[in-house]
Amino acid sequence: MLICSMFLFSQLNAADSSATRGKIEEALGGSIREAAEIARDANRKPGEVLEFFGLEDDMKVLEISPATGYWSKFVGPT
């Protein structure tokens, strides 16, 4: 029973992660980003960074001192 429950939970978690990953990919190609911001992606690796943080749909993000708003355009749009 325990093994079955663990398998079910891991499958649900994987589905949630892939949905979140899809939203991150959508934000990477978003029309609100300027060409200069997209050019920075090669060095900043925003997809990898956001995946590292483990963001999920039900989380809230507080960005302190966003400066140019580079990261805000990934975590802000809903």
3-state secondary structure the chain: CHHHHHHHHHHHHHHHHHHHHHHHHHHHCCCCCCHHHHHHHHHHCHHHHHHHHCCCCCCCCCCCCCCCCCCHHHHCCC
How many domains are there within the chain? 1
Q: Which amino acid is at 51?
A: E
Q: pLDDT band for position 78 (50/70/90)?
A: low
Q: pLDDT band for position 55 (50/70/90)?
A: confident
For residue 22, the enclosing domain spans 2-75
| pTM summary value | 0.64
